[in-house]
Amino acid sequence: MFIQTETTPNPATLKFLPGETVLGSGTADFPTLEAAATSALARRIFAVPGVAGVFLGRDFVTVTKTDAALWDHLKPSVLGAIMEHFQSGAPALDGSGDEAGGHAAHDGPDAEIVVQIKELLDTRVRPAVAQDGGDITFHGFDRGIVYLHMQGACAGCPSSTLTLKMGIENLLRHYIPEVVEVRPVA
């Protein structure tokens, strides 16, 4: 098995491409070891000292390191953990539960606007940020403000504010006049 790695705009995050399907659909974000209770793959990666977060996409694994850790020391161990997992034949997520990582539900008077927001996110934004090892999902819409959840390489990325304000906010405002601002949520 040959696992490729790619840098991301976030220097604390590295994208690993195992050349196999990681998740059949959706994404799964594990910002802590405790959150990784449903993923054998994420738990195995968290066992590597210096790992601060794991994010699973369709065909990639994004790993975030602690500030003190160095990629030169961490990368071989993470590669080994990913390789061991795929050689074991175990699924990335335990049980038969569906992958998470979708948009938050929204109903009410703004439902039509929210459908448009989610469609733009799915067709224009999410594919682009997946290339960088992350994901951005809809969290809410209230009085013209769109709330988005940033995951994987996007969470904590130095350029995430620029991506939100100059990229996503401008895109949404262009197509949906009711949108006045975009804000991140934790």
Domain ranges (residues) in the chain: 4-88, 111-185
CATH homologous superfamily for the domain 4-88: Scaffold protein Nfu/NifU, N-terminal domain (3.30.1370.70)
Q: How far apart are CA 150 and CA 21, in angstroms?
A: 22
pLDDT for the residue numbered 24: 85
Q: How far apart are CA 171 and CA 180, in angstroms?
A: 11
Our CA dihedral for 33, 137, 126, 18, rounded to 10 degrees, sits at 20
> Which CATH number among 3.10.350.10, 3.40.50.300, 3.30.300.130, 1.10.10.60 corresponds to the domain 111-185?
3.30.300.130
pLDDT for the residue numbered 25: 83
Mean pLDDT by 10 residues, the chain (186 residues): 91 94 90 94 97 94 96 96 95 67 74 91 86 87 91 78 83 94 88
pLDDT for the residue numbered 6: 94
Q: Where are the beta strands (DSSP E) in 18-80?
A: 28-30, 51-56, 61-65
pLDDT for the residue numbered 97: 46
